[in-house]
Amino acid sequence: MTISVAHSVEAARPWRGLLPLWVGIGVYALALVAGNQLLNDPDTYWQITVGQWILDHHAVPTTDLYSFTMRGQPWISTQWLSQVLLAGSYGAFGWAGPVVLTAAAIAASFALLTRFLSKRLSESTTLIFVAVALALMLGHLLARPHVLAMPVMVAWVGGLIAAMDRRCAPSYALLPLIALWANLHGGFVLGLALIAPIGIDAIFHAEVRAQKALLVRWFLFGLAACAASCLTPYGWESLLAARRILNLGAALAMIGEWRAADFGHAGPLELTVLIAFALVLWRGVTLPPMRIVLVLGFVFMALSHVRNAEVLALLAPLVLAKPLGERLGRPAGAEPVSPRGLLLGGIMACLLAGTFVFASTQAYAPYNRSSPAAAVTELKKLNLARVFNDYDFGGYLISRGVPTFIDGRTELFGEKLMVDHNNASGLAEPDNLFRLLKDYDIEATLMRTQSAATKLLDHLDGWQKVYSDDIATIHLRKAGAVHSVEPVVK
């Protein structure tokens, strides 16, 4: 009788095992509805442009092709595969293509996270983790390579932690994931770095007689993972790219996503850290030492650079799931299942049809504040080669074929030029503006209309304002130009 009742309850609630699917569909729908927010980053322009170059030339870039300040200098694109996917989707479907591609990657990430958590935690606890993760990541969910790599990150780290939970070595079947991640985004070095602490925890908690053999297996897996991560067009050079970015020093603080968390205001990240701290004090949650190290590491990464909020959001729950499940418990009979046959086919058909209908009615387009279309059209008429541009305009200039002074490829330009440009455009050091204009033989400037440098050039002899709108202003170097009478602008 008890068995019959249990089967009846499970038959009446088939949705319990399909929670990852419903979460994925829900997140996918939200991402499509908020599609324009996914395009709210000027870097998307140059990512697509580089991807199209790769498709056109059947090769990957090894030198800079897009700026006049660094043209011909060594530069590699560790995100080449993501760029190809973005360019291919854009070429086929316009801006709807990158939106749908990005929405699918976000949905897959949350579906994988939910599947991992729902094996170890109750559905309510799982959904709390999912909701918090979504809130933490909202500001950095963009049509860029790091988002396309997120499902691979969750699957890779989830596989490592599953092995840690079982106190065994990970399967070599995971290696294609690190190889794929290495071609999608430079963040794969985090996946390699996590092998050691996760392996140490697995070895420490294994039976004493099995620890030596387990150490060898984890070590060999780590070597194999490093080798697999070099299966890119650039080989081992991909491993060095992350070091170049982290060596930018003071320049990182000038880029919004690389800034440290600001506890002067209560944002999602700050609230999450404070609430988690309060819960630990209230419930007395304890973790094994290496899991504490992992969680603190993810917190430190997120607090150091707000762009790492997705690392905390997606990976910390994977580390916490097993010990929390043992402490809080979870209902039996809620194992996630994979939909098969007609159910899966029907769901996919509905998603594809719904995507086609909805996306075809949306006018997806990037944020116009970083797309000075009218100003660049006027600029191209001048046929100039050396234009001092606003940092945020760099991606759009690349997409329009205008050589940039600076753009979002920060590792290419280096710390000094990034800092000098920032201080010049904001007039933190006005002498920097004059020096850069002279040293680089600047013929014109394309800056935000409200920027400090633009306001200064409005009143500086030798520079003539030839175009201005509410987004961008063009000043042309012109000997003898004076501003006793303000020139007429369009």
Place of tokens 């404070």: 274
Grade residue 279 by pLDDT with cuts at 50, 70 and 90: confident
pLDDT band at residue 253 using 50, 70 and 90 as cut-offs:
low
Q: Coil, helix or strand for 415?
A: helix
Is-contact 146 154, C-beta < 8 A?
no
pLDDT, tens digit, 9 for 90 and up, residues 135-186: 999 888 999 999 999 999 999 999 999 999 999 999 999 999 999 999 999 9
What's the confidence (pLDDT) of residue 11? 41
**What residues contact 90, with CB distance under 8 A and at least 6 apart?**
48, 97, 98
Give the C-alpha distances (Å, rounded to integers) separating 293 from 47, 296, 327.
Answer: 35, 5, 19
> pLDDT tens digits for 464-484?
999 999 999 999 998 777 765
CA distance 31 to 49: 23
d(CA 46, CA 52): 10
Mean local confidence (pLDDT), 433-461: 92
When pLDDT is averaged across residues 249-253 and rounded to a whole number, the result is: 65
Question: What confidence category does residue 131 fall into, taking pLDDT thresholds of 50, 70 and 90?
Answer: very high
CA atoms within 13 A on the CB side of 75: 20
Q: What was the pLDDT predicted at 233?
A: 94
| pLDDT category of residue 285 using cuts at 50, 70 and 90 | confident
Amino acid at 1: M
**Dihedral angle computed from the Cα positions of residues 246, 248, 250 and 252, in that order, rounded to the nearest 10 degrees:** -60
Residues written for the chain: 490
Nearest Cα to Cα of residue 435 among 448, 450, 419? 419
Residue 430 has a pLDDT of 82
Does 332 score more than 60 pLDDT? no
Closest CA to 152 of 344, 30, 315: 315
State the CB neighbour count (10 A cutoff) for residue 68.
Answer: 16
More confident residue, 241 or 31: 31
Average pLDDT of the residues of the chain: 87
Q: Which residues contact 478 (CB under 8 A, 6 or more apart)?
A: 462, 463, 464
> Looking at residue 473, what is its pLDDT?
95
For residue 209, pLDDT over 80 is answered with yes
Phi/psi-derived region of residue 235, left when phi > 0, alpha when psi is between -120 and 50, beta in every other case = left
In a 3-state reduction of DSSP, which class is residue 67? Answer: strand
Contact predicate 145/185, CB 8 Å:
yes
pLDDT at 4: 42
Percentage with pLDDT > 70 across the chain: 87
pLDDT for 48 equals: 97
Mean pLDDT of 275-282: 76
Residue 349 has pLDDT above 80, yes or no: yes
More confident residue, 175 or 261: 175
325 contact partners, CB below 8 Å, separation of at least 6: 120, 121
Structure confidence at residue 16 (pLDDT): 52
Q: Please check the confidence at residue 343 and state whether its pLDDT lies above 80.
A: no
* 8 Å CB contact between 473 and 450: no
Q: Report the pLDDT value the prediction gives residue 431, as an integer from 0 to 100.
A: 85
Tell me how far CA of residue 404 lies from CA of 4, 51, 352, 461, in angstroms: 71, 18, 39, 24
Least-confidence region, from 88-102, 274-288, 370-384: 274-288
Residue 334 pLDDT > 60, yes or no? no
Q: What is the pLDDT of residue 6?
A: 39
Q: List C-alpha distances in Å: 62 to 55, 194, 414.
A: 15, 29, 17
Q: What is the DSSP letter of 63?
A: B
Strands (E), 334-443: 387-389
Name the helix (H) or strand (E) containing 444: strand 444-448
**Residue 85 confidence class, pLDDT cut points 50, 70, 90:** very high
* Cα 50 from Cα 395, distance rounded (Å): 11
Mean pLDDT of 212-222: 96
Cα dihedral 284, 288, 290, 291 sign: negative
Q: What is the pLDDT of residue 432?
A: 86
What's the average model confidence in pLDDT over 244-263? 67
Query: Is the separation of the CB atoms in 298 and 316 below 8 Å?
Result: yes
Strands 472-477, 444-448: pairing is antiparallel
Greater pLDDT, 111 or 281: 111
Rounded to the nearest 10 degrees, the angle between the axes of helix 237-246 and helix 208-229 is 90
Give the span between the Cα atoms of 409 and 459, in whole angstroms.
32
C-alpha to C-alpha distance for 102 and 105, rounded to whole angstroms: 5
d(Cα 184, Cα 488) in Å, to the nearest integer? 48
Name the phi and psi angles at 465, rounded to 5.
-75, 120
Order of strands across the sheet that contains 444-448: 387-389, 444-448, 472-477, 463-468
Which alpha helices (DSSP H) does 34-95 contain, by range? 35-38, 43-57, 80-93
In which band, very low, low, confident or very high, does the pLDDT at 486 lie, cut at 50, 70 and 90?
Answer: low
- Please state, in angstroms and rounded to a whole number, the distance separating the CA atoms of residues 111 and 463: 55
Q: Cα separation of 420 and 405, whole Å?
A: 12
Helix/strand/coil for 475: strand
Beta strands in 256-412 (DSSP E): 387-389
Compare 9 and 425 and report the one with higher pLDDT: 425
CA 50, CA 53: separation in Å to the nearest integer? 5
Alpha-carbon gap, residue 254 to 426, rounded angstroms? 11
